[in-house]
Amino acid sequence: MTENECYASLAPFIRDYIYRKGWDRLRPIQIAACDVIMNSDSHLLLSSGTASGKTEAAFLPALTELFNRPSSSVGILYISPLKALINDQFGRIENLLEEANIPVTKWHGDASMAKKNKLIKNPSGVMQTTPESIESLLMNKSGAIYSLFCDLRFIIIDEVHYFMDSPRGLQLQSQLERITRLINANKTADEKLVIPRRIGLSATISDYSGAEEFLSGATGIKTVTPQLNEPSKRVRLMAERFVMRQTVSPKVEQLVDDIDYTKIAEFLVLKTMGKKAIIFCNTRAETEIYCSRCKKYAEDHHLPDVYRIHHGSLSRTIRESAEKQMKSEDSPLVTAATITLELGIDLGSLDRIIQIGTPFSVSSFVQRLGRSGRNETKVPEMIFCIIDEDKNDTVTALDEINWDMLFIIAIVEIYTKEKWVEPISVGRFNFSLLYHQTMSYLCTAGSVTSAKLAEDILTLPPFRFITKEDYKFLLQNLIDIGHIAKDERGRLTVGFKAEPIVDSFQFYSVFETEEEFTVKCKGEIIGSVATLFTPGSTFALAGKAWKVTAVDEKAKVIAVAPLEGSARIFWLAEQPIAFHTKVIRKVREILRKDTGEIDGKDYPYPYLSKSCRERLSQIQNIAKIAELDTKQIIKIGADKYAIFPWVGTRELYTLGYALTAKDEDIKIIPKNNLYAECEFEGSAYELERFIKDILASEINPYKFHIPKEQHDKSDSDPKQTIPKQFQVPGKFNKFIPSALLRKQFAEDFCDVPGLKAECEF
């Protein structure tokens, strides 16, 4: 399809919209999307860089279809991982639809109930929602599903990569299949089934096969990904190093060295002065620290306070205020944020991104970098702040290596040179989600035979690998604990012990949230904290300091008053980073690389500052002296070795568990997600021989021995224990028999095939 053919095929109101907006052309992704939607029956995956026009590419042909052939129900179901993203997209397409008289209805917890009821009475147009709201709809208004979606044409899934590797994505897959079944339940053999076409949007997928399979689900329809020859876009990168005498505690994060943090704050203020920027941090504590320090520096130097904050423990009012200001104001504004601003909320044209420490992954780097330079006249910019801890307690030479610096360089090199992004791994044995969907299904069905329940649940895409035997085992356990009951006919229903769980709005979500206490100042919600502070104590939140005036422990409310100055930051350490083997191998390459003169013209990493280059040279010398360029096992003490298998985090832990399964006296402690410290009474040669023998033999993750310090203390059966911090997360794991959780750990966390294929011992 040519550009002229594409333009001519669009609905008149869309052509008028394009004219009014002054578009000089249709983008390649928009032409390709129109071609697939208008000339095939396939599902569609749109994968291209940020600000490439993916949203319009999805909506323009879909809306044209609704204009040409109006739907008798909701015609387009738009699904987003964030309510904020829904609000953003709502504003972007609302004007486009006014002239065509195609309504758009937001359907989530904060949306108008009157507008929801209006949609139920007269289903039409576009419905924007989240997986949690779909779950509520299936459980509480299942009778309305048919009228809402009986003529549904398109399902648009935004940020599809975000869903794919999480329980929410598997939940969404289940929901879409359940909706499809409900709207086709009474169709005769002669009637055509309604199978809405799915359109996935993403900026960070490099391996399309997984996303295509995710979108196709159980529909039997293939997914097409247009291959676009997008020109390489220039990026501007810089990395600066900061030495800190003491950093944030790994267990309780708190402000411990004001002088060093203030030095970084000065750099942040100067590098964002006069700009719209985001300072990305990996933890909520860091956002609080750097936001408060920037505010303090600005106050001390009589500069305007342009600093905002955005993370998951802040009130919706504070988060939305930051989003609105970033989007609407042209004046300089800087927001310190966690992953909450990593997704594609349109914040306008940002000038620069600051990254504190290493990104979580290559994918995370791409998402964060792509928040800037969205205007075609601007270049995406990112500045890395590399924190170098000045340690006084180093035990081995390896402790003197800044692994975060190496990870940052590795991530940058992999993406800028190869355009590679991590493939998405989808778990096959999510028993927590299986519990959730079983209970949700029973709420919808009322009562059902065990055979019908098994047939309908185990044929949902996320559960196709779960055996009937395992499901029967789970169901019997749920009957035993009162979560499922049998009625007088032997049919299964929701048990009395589960009723308070499924009746709570918190049941709709499948991701875990820690218990927190709401913080209020004069009745206004500031956010939440995980610590129950006592009256008189102080803490920081929303970039400000607060003093506790009263505590209502039963209501879980902490009343506070503003406090002059700074206060300590309290948050438990957040999710550890897990790296792919490709990133680890790149780290090895950097360690062994001869970078030449740090001021030379051919220096391979030109984005590094002089201080960073000097530090990298020092790290490379440390690695050479430690013989990391030639050895994979380094002696670091009496009967203590460092093992470098140069594999990803999952494979590294799998090797560690395999070693302890063979010999329980061996103690393995993974370090920096890259190598493992091992206590072994023998020579390095004997340890290497031992590892090679294990790799050459059959490795059975079901027989892995888990060290006591890693046990999940809630599990009383030592034979079935799994490591708590690396147990595959599950909100409802406490209702799952330990044998099934052990299976999930063995199959979905441990990676024996990857270890055997990648480990070079």
Q: Where are the domains of the chain?
A: 3-224, 233-426+572-622, 431-503, 517-563, 631-758
CA atoms within 13 A on the CB side of 374: 22
The CB density around residue 316, as the number of other CB atoms within 10 Å, is 12
> Is the pLDDT reported for residue 247 higher than 70?
no
What is the C-alpha separation between 238 and 146, in angstroms, rounded? Answer: 54
Are 3-224 and 233-426+572-622 the same fold in CATH?
yes
pLDDT band at 716 (very low <50, low <70, confident <90, very high): very low
So what's the pLDDT on residue 257?
A: 47
What is the C-alpha separation between 239 and 25, in angstroms, rounded? Answer: 37
The model's pLDDT over 510-548, given as tens digits with 9 standing for 90+, comes to 987 777 889 999 989 999 888 888 898 888 888 888 999
> Is the pLDDT reported for residue 573 higher than 60?
no
The model's pLDDT over 51-86, given as tens digits with 9 standing for 90+, comes to 678 888 999 999 999 999 999 999 999 999 887 777
Mean pLDDT of 109-135: 91
252, β-bridge pairs: 572
Residue 86 in contact with residue 111, Cβ under 8 Å?
Answer: no
The model's pLDDT over 676-698, given as tens digits with 9 standing for 90+, comes to 999 998 899 999 999 999 999 99
So what's the pLDDT on residue 560?
A: 93
The model's pLDDT over 699-711, given as tens digits with 9 standing for 90+, comes to 999 888 665 555 4
The model's pLDDT over 109-119, given as tens digits with 9 standing for 90+, comes to 878 889 999 99
Mean pLDDT of 460-469: 95
pLDDT band at 715 (very low <50, low <70, confident <90, very high): very low
Residues contacting residue 458 through CB under 8 Å, at least 6 positions apart: 464, 466, 468, 471
Arch. (CATH architecture) of 3-224: 3-Layer(aba) Sandwich (3.40)
Torsion angle defined by CA atoms of residues 39, 43, 46 and 47, in that order, rounded to the nearest 10 degrees: -130
> Is the pLDDT reported for residue 224 higher than 90?
yes
Class level of CATH domain 431-503: mainly alpha
So what's the pLDDT on residue 718?
A: 43
So what's the pLDDT on residue 229?
A: 75
Arch. (CATH architecture) of 233-426+572-622: 3-Layer(aba) Sandwich (3.40)
Q: Of all residues in the chain, what percent are helix, strand and coil, respectively (each to 5)?
A: 45, 15, 40
So what's the pLDDT on residue 545?
A: 86
What is the Cα 412 distance to its own chain's centre? 19
pLDDT averaged over every residue in the chain:
87
Residue 603's alpha-carbon distances to 78, 206, 462, 586, 608, in angstroms, are 47, 28, 48, 17, 10
Q: What's the predicted TM-score (pTM) here? A: 0.88
So what's the pLDDT on residue 571?
A: 60
pLDDT band at 254 (very low <50, low <70, confident <90, very high): very low
pLDDT band at 185 (very low <50, low <70, confident <90, very high): confident
Secondary structure class of 26 (helix, strand, coil): coil
pLDDT band at 669 (very low <50, low <70, confident <90, very high): confident
> Is the pLDDT reported for residue 398 higher than 50?
yes
> Is the pLDDT reported for residue 173 higher than 90?
yes
The candidate with the shortest Cα–Cα distance to 422, out of 371, 368, 364, 381, is 364
DSSP character string of 617-668 = HHHHHHHHHTTTTT-SEEEEETTEEEE-----HHHHHHHHHHHHHH-TT-EE
pLDDT band at 570 (very low <50, low <70, confident <90, very high): low
The model's pLDDT over 416-432, given as tens digits with 9 standing for 90+, comes to 999 899 988 778 999 99
Burial call 174-206: b when 16+ CB within 10 Å, e when fewer? bbbbbbbebbeeeeeeeeeebbbbbbbbbbbbb
User: Tell me, what DSSP letter sits at residue 720?
Assistant: G
